[in-house]
C-alpha cells in the first residue's frame, strides 16, 4: 500500500498542468506566416518587426536527442538552463508541425503575462477533455476555456482565492494536521532509531490528499489512518493509474486503443476518480436535501457552497471538484517535502524559524491563520522552497485572441508560448546565489526584493492557481506545528537528493528524515 502511494507521489507523471509528453509539452499551433518580417499595423505600429522565423530553432530530432540520449527526459527543468546557454532568452521549439516560442528570461515572461488574453489559455487539454466528452462529464477549471471558463472561475474563486476565504478552512486543516502529527509519532516509534520518518514524500502525499479532500468534500477519507479504507485506496490507485497511462495513451496512435491495454486502463483510472468523487458529492447532496426538507439552514464549506449557493449544475460540480482534487495533492506535498529537506540541511534557518514560531505561538496553543500573518519568516521559508523547487517548473500560454509583440518579435494570434520558470528561478541575475536556500531574500526588511516575476510558483493573473490560498494555509499550519515539536535532521544514508521532473518536481529517491522531539512540547 505504501509503495503504491509512493509510486503515485514520486513515480508518476502527474500531468495536471499540461497532460502531454515531451513532444507536446512543447505543443503549439503553427504560427501563421513564414520567415518574412511582419507588418504590424494591427498592433499600432507600421514598423517592420522580426518574426518567429528569425528566432533560433530547436528541431524535433534535437528535442528527442536531448531527451533520450542526453538524459534530459527526467530533467526537463535542467534542459531549460542548458538551452538558454545555447540559444539565449527566446527561441522556437518545433516538434513535427507544431511550434512553441520559449521564453527564458524574467523580462520576457513578464512582458507576455502582462499582455495575456482576457480569457487566458494554456493550450490543448484534449487528453483530459476526451474522457469527459465520452462520459458526458462536465469540464472543470483546467479543461474549460473562454467565457465558460471565466464564469466557472468566478464561482470557484469565491470561497478560495482571497486569503480571508481560506481562513474558514483553518479548523478543518488543523484537524488534519493533528492527525498527521499523530501519524509522525507513530512512524517514528516504529522506526529503527525511534525518530526516523521514512519515505516522507509518501506521508506528505497522504497528508495533502486528506487535507484537500476534507476541504472539498467536508468528509475525512482516512488517508492518515494506519490502514487506509479500501474505497480511499481504490481512489488513490485510480489517480495513479490515470497518470501512469496518460503518457502511453498520448504516445500511441488512436487506432491502437482497442488493441493495446493503455487506453482502457487510462479510462478506468478516470472512472475510479469520478466514482469516488461522485459518491462523496452525492452524499453531500443528500445531506443538503435533508436539511432543506427539515427547514434547517444550509451553510457550510466548499462543496456545500457549490451545491447550494451557485447555479452550477451537478455535472459542472463533478467536473470541477475532481480537477481541484487532482491539482491539490502532488503540488502541496512535494513543496512540503522540499521544504523539510532544505530545513534539515540548514540548521540556522531552522533555528530562526523555530524562534519566530515560538515567539508568536506560546505554549501548547495551536497556531491559527491569524498567527501566520505575524510570521514573515515562515512564509519566506515556503516561498524560498518554491523558488528553488517550483513544483510546476514550466507553464504555457496560447494567445488565442490577439497578435502580440514579445521581445521585439511579432507573433500572430494562436501562437503558443512556453514559460521557463525553473531556469528563471535559478538565474543568478534574478536571484544571487541561486543554489542557496536563503529565505531572508523574501523579507521586507529594507533589502532590495527580487523581481516579482522571478518566482511565480502559482502562476499569474486570472488563470493563476485557484488553490493557492488553501495550499499556503495547509503548508503554513503544518510547518508551524511540526517545527514547534521537532527539530528536523538529515539521514546520512540518503545523501544529496536530486530533482526529477515528473511534470511536478519530485525527489529522485526515497527521502527519510529524523524528527527529533524538542523538549516538553506536545501540541496536538
Ligand atoms: C504548492 C501548491 C501549488 C502550486 C505550486 C500550484 C501551482 C499552480 C500553477 C503554476 C498553476 C497554473 C497557473 C497559471 O497558468 O498561471 C495552477 C493552476 C491550478 N491550480 Fe494550483 N498549485 C498548488 C496547489 C493547488 C491546490 C491545493 C489546488 C486545489 C484546491 C489547486 C488547483 C489549481 C487549479 C484548479 C488550477 C487551474 C486554474 C485554471 O486554469 O483556471 N492548486 N496551480
Residue with CA at minimum distance from ligand 1 atom 24: 328
- Tell me the pairing of strands 48-51 and 409-411: parallel
Q: Is the pLDDT of residue 75 over 80?
A: yes
What is the pLDDT, as a whole number, of residue 292? 76
Residue whose Cα lies nearest atom 36 of ligand 1: it is: 465
Instruction: Taking residues 416-433, report their average pLDDT.
Output: 98
- With a cut of 90, say whether residue 459 has pLDDT above it: yes
- As a CATH number, domain 2-517 is 1.10.630.10
CA of 327 to the centre of ligand 1 (A): 6
Task: Assess whether pLDDT exceeds 50 at residue 256.
Answer: yes
**Separation of CA 328 and ligand 1 centre (Å):** 7
Give the mutation target among 327, 328, 337 for probing the ligand 1 site: most ligand atoms within 8 A of CB.
327
Nearest alpha carbon, ligand 1 atom 40: 142
Distance 471 CA to ligand 1 centre (A): 9
Q: Does 417 score more than 60 pLDDT?
A: yes
Query: pLDDT at position 124, please?
Result: 86
Distance CA 55, CA 86 (A): 13
pLDDT category at 38 given cuts 50, 70, 90 is low
Give the model confidence (pLDDT) of 333-363 as tens digits: 999 999 999 999 999 999 999 999 999 999 8
**pLDDT per position as a tens digit, 235-248:** 988 988 998 888 78
Q: Measured between alpha carbons, how far is 373 from 366 in angstroms, rounded to an integer?
A: 15
Q: Whose CA is nearest to atom 30 of ligand 1?
A: 467
Q: How far is the CA of 437 from the centre of ligand 1 (A)?
A: 24
Coil, strand or helix at 56 = coil
Q: Given a cut of 90, is residue 414 above it in pLDDT?
A: yes
> pLDDT tens for residues 269-302?
999 999 998 888 888 888 888 877 887 776 667 8
Which residue in 51, 35, 33, 28 sits closest to 97, CA to CA?
28
For residue 16, pLDDT over 70 is answered with no
The alpha carbon of 503 and the centre of ligand 1 are apart by a number of angstroms equal to 13
Least confident of 39-43, 99-103, 254-258: 39-43
pLDDT band at 160 (very low <50, low <70, confident <90, very high): confident
Q: What is the pLDDT of residues 470-483, one digit of tens each?
A: 999 999 999 999 99
458, 461, 463, 470: residue to mutate for ligand 1 pocket, most atoms within 8 A of CB: 458
Q: For the chain, give the percent of residues with pLDDT over 90.
A: 68
| Cβ density class 176-205: b for 16+ within 10 Å, e for less | bbebbbebbbebbeeeeeebbbbbbbbbbb
By alpha-carbon position, which residue is closest to atom 7 of ligand 1? Answer: 458
**Is 28 assigned a ligand-binding role in the annotation?**
no
* pLDDT tens sequence across 288-339: 888 778 877 766 678 888 888 778 888 888 899 989 988 999 999 999 999 9
pLDDT single digits (tens) 434-458: 999 999 999 998 889 899 999 999 9
**Is 8's pLDDT higher than 50?**
no
> Is the model's pLDDT at 5 over the cut of 70?
no
What was the pLDDT predicted at 19? 44
Quote the pLDDT of residue 159: 85
This prediction's pTM = 0.90
**DSSP assignment, residue 137?**
P
Q: Which atom of ligand 1 is nearest to the CA of 152?
A: 41
Whose alpha carbon is nearest atom 18 of ligand 1? Answer: 465
159-173, 252-266, 318-332, 380-394 — which is least confidently predicted? Answer: 159-173
Mean pLDDT, rounded, for 490-498: 96
pLDDT at 108 over 50: yes
* Predicted local distance difference test score (pLDDT) of residue 18: 47
Mutate to test the pocket of ligand 1, among 465, 466, 468 (most ligand atoms within 8 A of CB): 465
Q: Which atom of ligand 1 lies closest to the CA of 392? A: 10
Q: Is the pLDDT of residue 35 over 60?
A: no
Mean per-residue pLDDT over the chain, rounded: 88
Which pLDDT band holds residue 43 (cuts at 50, 70, 90)? low
Lining ligand 1 with CB less than 6 A are: 17, 122, 141-142, 153, 212, 323-324, 327-328, 331-332, 335, 391-392, 395, 457-460, 463-467, 470-471
What is the arithmetic mean of pLDDT over 204-225?
A: 92
Residue with CA at minimum distance from ligand 1 atom 27? 328
Alpha-carbon gap, residue 102 to 423, rounded angstroms: 12
Tell me how far CA of residue 188 lies from CA of 196, 197, 253, 476, in angstroms. 5, 6, 48, 22
pLDDT band at 30 (very low <50, low <70, confident <90, very high): very low
What pLDDT does residue 45 have?
Answer: 52
Asked whether the beta carbons of 72 and 500 are under 8 A apart, the reply is no
By three-state DSSP, how is residue 502 classified?
strand
Report d(CA 408, CA 129) in Å as an integer.
35
Amino acid at each position: 500500500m505504501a509503495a503504491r502511494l509512493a509510486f503515485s507521489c514520486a513515480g508518476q507523471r502527474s500531468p495536471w498542468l499540461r497532460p502531454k509528453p515531451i513532444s507536446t509539452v512543447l505543443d503549439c499551433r503553427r504560427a501563421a506566416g513564414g520567415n518574412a518580417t511582419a507588418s504590424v499595423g494591427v498592433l499600432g505600429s507600421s514598423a517592420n518587426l522580426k518574426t518567429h522565423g528569425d528566432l533560433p530553432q530547436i528541431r524535433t530530432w534535437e528535442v528527442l536527442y536531448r531527451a533520450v540520449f542526453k538524459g534530459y527526459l527526467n530533467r526537463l527543468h535542467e534542459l531549460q538552463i542548458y538551452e538558454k546557454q545555447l540559444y539565449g532568452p527566446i527561441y522556437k521549439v518545433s516538434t513535427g508541425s507544431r511550434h512553441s516560442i520559449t521564453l527564458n528570461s524574467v523580462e520576457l515572461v513578464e512582458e507576455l503575462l502582462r499582455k495575456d488574453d482576457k480569457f487566458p489559455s494554456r493550450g490543448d487539454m484534449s487528453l483530459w477533455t476526451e474522457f469527459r466528452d465520452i462520459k458526458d462529464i462536465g469540464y472543470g477549471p483546467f479543461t474549460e476555456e473562454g467565457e465558460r471558463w471565466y464564469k466557472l472561475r468566478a464561482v470557484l474563486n469565491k470561497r478560495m482565492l482571497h486569503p480571508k476565504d481560506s481562513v474558514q478552512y483553518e479548523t478543518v486543516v488543523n484537524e488534519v494536521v493533528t492527525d498527521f502529527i499523530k501519524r509522525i509519532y507513530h512512524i517514528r516509534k516504529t522506526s529503527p532509531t525511534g525518530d526516523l520518518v521514512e519515505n516522507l514524500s509518501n506521508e506528505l502525499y497522504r497528508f495533502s490528499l486528506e487535507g484537500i479532500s476534507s476541504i472539498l468534500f467536508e468528509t475525512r477519507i482516512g488517508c492518515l489512518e494506519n490502514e487506509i479504507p479500501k474505497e480511499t485506496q481504490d481512489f488513490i490507485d485510480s489517480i495513479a493509474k490515470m497518470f501512469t497511462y496518460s503518457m502511453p495513451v498520448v504516445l500511441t496512435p488512436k487506432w491502437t486503443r482497442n488493441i493495446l491495454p493503455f487506453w482502457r486502463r487510462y479510462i478506468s483510472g478516470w472512472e475510479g476518480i469520478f466514482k469516488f468523487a461522485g459518491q462523496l458529492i452525492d452524499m453531500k447532496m443528500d445531506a443538503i436535501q435533508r436539511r432543506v426538507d427539515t427547514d434547517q439552514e444550509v451553510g457550510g464549506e466548499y462543496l456545500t457552497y457549490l451545491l447550494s449557493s451557485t447555479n452550477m449544475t451537478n455535472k459542472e460540480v463533478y467536473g470541477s471538484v475532481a480537477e481541484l482534487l487532482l491539482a491539490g495533492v502532488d503540488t502541496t506535498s512535494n513543496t512540503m517535502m522540499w521544504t523539510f529537506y532544505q530545513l534539515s540541511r540548514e540548521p540556522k534557518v531552522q533555528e530562526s524559524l523555530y524562534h519566530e514560531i515560538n515567539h508568536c505561538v506560546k505554549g501548547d496553543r495551536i497556531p491559527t491563520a491569524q498567527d501566520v500573518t505575524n510570521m514573515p519568516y515562515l512564509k519566506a521559508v515556503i516561498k524560498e522552497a518554491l523558488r528553488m523547487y517550483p513544483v510546476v517548473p514550466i507553464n504555457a500560454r496560447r494567445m488565442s485572441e490577439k497578435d502580440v509583440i514579445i521581445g521585439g518579435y511579432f507573433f500572430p494570434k494562436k501562437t503558443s508560448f512556453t514559460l521557463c520558470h525553473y531556469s528563471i528561478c535559478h538565474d543568478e541575475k534574478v536571484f544571487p546565489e541561486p543554489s542557496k536556500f536563503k529565505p531572508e531574500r523574501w523579507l521586507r526588511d529594507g533589502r532590495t526584493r527580487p523581481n516579482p516575476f522571478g518566482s511565480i510558483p502559482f502562476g499569474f493573473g486570472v488563470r493563476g492557481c485557484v488553490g493557492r490560498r488553501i495550499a499556503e494555509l495547509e503548508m503554513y499550519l503544518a510547518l508551524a506545528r511540526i517545527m514547534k515539536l521537532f527539530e528536523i535532521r538529515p539521514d546520512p544514508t540518503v545523501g544529496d537528493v536530486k530533482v526529477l521532473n515528473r511534470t511536478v518536481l519530485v525527489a529522485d529517491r526515497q527521502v527519510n528524515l529524523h524528527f527529533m522531539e524538542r523538549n516538553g512540547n506536545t501540541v496536538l
